Structure 1
Amino acid sequence: MNLTFKQLEAFFFSARLQSFSAAAVKLHTTQSAISKRLAELEDVLGAPVLHRKSKGLELTPVGRRLLPLAEETLRLRLRIETELSVDQTLEGTFRIGVTELIALTWLTGFIKRLQELHPKLILEPVVDAGLHLFQSLESHKIDLAIMPGVYWGKQFTTVKVAQVEDLWMASPSLKMPRRALKPEEFALYPVLEQSTGAAKNKFYEAWLAQHGFKFNKVFATNSTTVLRELTISGFGISQMALEYMQPDIDKGLLRIVRSDPMPPPMVYSAVYHSDNFSPAMDRVVQLAIASCDFSRRSGIHEKGAAA
């Protein structure tokens, strides 16, 4: 049996993307080249690995057995190329999506460090709400998204980058009780939140429903700059990242509103397609983990931050 990496690549990406043309784009080749490699692979195996269906390509029984082995082989090849290469410098273009909180805290330091380590790598950052970033990730418009959430589907690899305390806050002018509020008591006060599109809403949705939180008067905005200023001005209660908002608390502009129970920490994860075999991916993710710091930078960033 004489299998080649090119044959396994053609099979793996055709199966994952359910399209010969999409696999050709992914591998920077032609559809005829993909078809030729698959025909060669099937000759070697003596059986078909993919069937054409109306909704795309479908794995045969032999293809289902081969798929995890092909993935393991391609990952091992990538590891060999990455770890044993004399030149460890990454190059090319890498598209990363981040939320506004990241953009206003550790993104700049992360980019500087990445440029120092890999000057040939061109980073294209995109700042948007988490759910919009995921849509861009699904459509392959970006390579990696860092946003709240712990699971985005079996087609995606999710790596925990950090977690932040995301607590209820309000202006002292609201004269909120000092005791912990029960979930149903939140209906007595105006609540400010981020509008649809924020991954934070999805992250806390099940938890809020589980504990019966009630919000009758809700003001939503897609800008946490506005959210922060409205909260400081006494328009209502909002849920914001403690590390970033600590300076406002220290100045007496905001105070933490306790609840029973308190919100769990919000987990930020690096999310990417599981079939994205890129030498840059692991290093970029690991550098993100090492770089993340959600605290406000010495007066540089005085605006809000979206999750």
Structure 2
Amino acid sequence: MITFKQIEALYWISELGNFAAAAEKLHTTQSAISKRINELEAAFGMSVFDRTRRTARLTEKGSELLLMAKDLIEMRDEMLERMANPKVLHKRFRIGVTELTALTWLPKLVKMIEENYPRLILEPQVELSSVLFDKMSDDLLDFIIVPDIHEDARFKVQPLGSVENAWMCTPGYTDIQGPMALQDIAQFNVLMQGSRSGTGLIYDRWFSQNKVQTSQALISSNLIAQLGLTLSGFGITYLPLKAMSSLIEQGQLRTLDINPKLPQVRYAAIYRADRDSQLYKDVADYAKQACDFNRFLLSGY
């Protein structure tokens, strides 16, 4: 008898390229994965993988079987999610967010998911947006929340809110009070996010369009490090305006009047188009409801 364990082994070997990666994905051993494939081959009386090659390469019949296996897995998952009461739906859900989301409204989103899908096993990850997108492309994440810079037909995109950033520094870093041109930031140490960050990439492009040179730039991939360096008086930086309101009110930060203003950064929830099930639609809807970049969890930093 053919089992879903055998079909899943076939699917994940083909997706990830080898038996070891499939075993890790399915939380089992490589020998168990090999046993499942051997059983599958014995049931059909044919070879699924070409064993004369060093990599896991499907035979012609194996490729044909894989297409049907994908359909079966998708139908099974859709049936489970449509027929099961959300209260009893039990599965892992891997969600990736950037640091800003983790430090603002992720707790609200997690609470909403847990209230509506109490048996869902959430596995959150906090990474740079480029890392999150790569992981979802490799099917190592199910759902991500990142700056809206990706255009890929393989994925569904749910627009969320926007972040208004402003130039900031400590009150004692510079005595300039009036408006400045954007090109004038060249006189300062500028603390910036790297191009692997969605916000960093957006602003890198914007600086280039505005012909801005930042010869004294310090690159950070970590929002807390960026904030810490700014509070230590190392330079000026761009930070989410409303999230930093308490630090501005406390006199630890001041905003700089630099024109033109920084463009807002739009965020989006993204997931694979071939998984457009009710669960994914619901989580995207919860994200839209929860999205609020105004409250910084470390406001007493």
When the two structures are superposed, what TM-score results if normalisation uses the length of structure 2? 0.70
Query: How big is the shift at 1:35?
Result: 3.2
Please say if residues 165 and 239 of structure 2, whose CA atoms lie closer than 8 Å, have aligned partners that are also in contact: yes
Query: How big is the shift at 1:302?
Result: 0.6
Query: How big is the shift at 1:141?
Result: 7.2
Unaligned ranges ≥5, structure 2: none
CA distance in 2, matches of 1:141, 1:83: 23
Query: How big is the shift at 1:153?
Result: 7.9
Q: Could you say what secondary structure the match of 1:193 adopts?
A: strand
Query: 2:37: which partner in 1?
Result: 34
CA distance in 1, matches of 2:66, 2:205: 34
Say which is worse superposed, 137-146 or 223-232, in terms of deviation: 137-146
CA deviation map 1:106-126 (0-9, x unaligned): 122222223322333343444
When the two structures are superposed, what TM-score results if normalisation uses the length of structure 1? 0.69
Amino acid at match of 1:301: L
Amino acid at match of 1:302: S
CA distance in 2, matches of 1:228, 1:255: 13
Question: Superposition RMSD on alpha carbons, in Å?
Answer: 4.5
Query: How big is the shift at 1:193?
Result: 2.0
Please say if residues 82 and 88 of structure 1, whose CA atoms lie closer than 8 Å, have aligned partners that are also in contact: no
Unaligned ranges ≥5, structure 1: none
Amino acid at match of 1:31: S
Amino acid at match of 1:35: N
CA distance in 2, matches of 1:86, 1:114: 14
Query: How big is the shift at 1:83?
Result: 0.8
From 282, 302, 307, the counterpart of 2:299: 302
Please say if residues 232 and 254 of structure 1, whose CA atoms lie closer than 8 Å, have aligned partners that are also in contact: no
CA deviation map 1:12-50 (0-9, x unaligned): 32221222444355445532112322554575xxxx664
CA distance in 1, matches of 2:150, 2:71: 22
Does the alignment pair 1:16 with 2:15? yes
CA deviation map 1:62-105 (0-9, x unaligned): 66666566434432331122111246433355454433322221
Assess, with a 3 A threshold, how the Cα gap between structure 1 residues 264 and 247 changes in structure 2: closer, same or farther.
same
Query: How big is the shift at 1:214?
Result: 1.6
CA distance in 2, matches of 1:249, 1:165: 17
Does the alignment pair 1:164 with 2:165? no
Assess, with a 3 A threshold, how the Cα gap between structure 1 residues 176 and 268 changes in structure 2: closer, same or farther.
farther
Q: Could you say what secondary structure the match of 1:244 adopts?
A: coil
Query: 1:255: which partner in 2?
Result: 255
Assess, with a 3 A threshold, how the Cα gap between structure 1 residues 276 and 180 changes in structure 2: closer, same or farther.
same
Please say if residues 90 and 120 of structure 1, whose CA atoms lie closer than 8 Å, have aligned partners that are also in contact: yes
Q: Could you say what secondary structure the match of 2:263 adopts?
A: coil
Assess, with a 3 A threshold, how the Cα gap between structure 1 residues 269 and 180 changes in structure 2: closer, same or farther.
farther
Say which is worse superposed, 90-99 or 140-149, in terms of deviation: 140-149
Please say if residues 247 and 299 of structure 2, whose CA atoms lie closer than 8 Å, have aligned partners that are also in contact: no
Question: Identity, % of aligned pairs?
Answer: 29
CA distance in 2, matches of 1:143, 1:31: 26
Assess, with a 3 A threshold, how the Cα gap between structure 1 residues 257 and 31 changes in structure 2: closer, same or farther.
farther
Query: 1:178: which partner in 2?
Result: 179
CA distance in 2, matches of 1:78, 1:231: 48
Query: 2:114: which partner in 1?
Result: 115
CA distance in 2, matches of 1:52, 1:130: 38
Query: How big is the shift at 1:216?
Result: 0.9
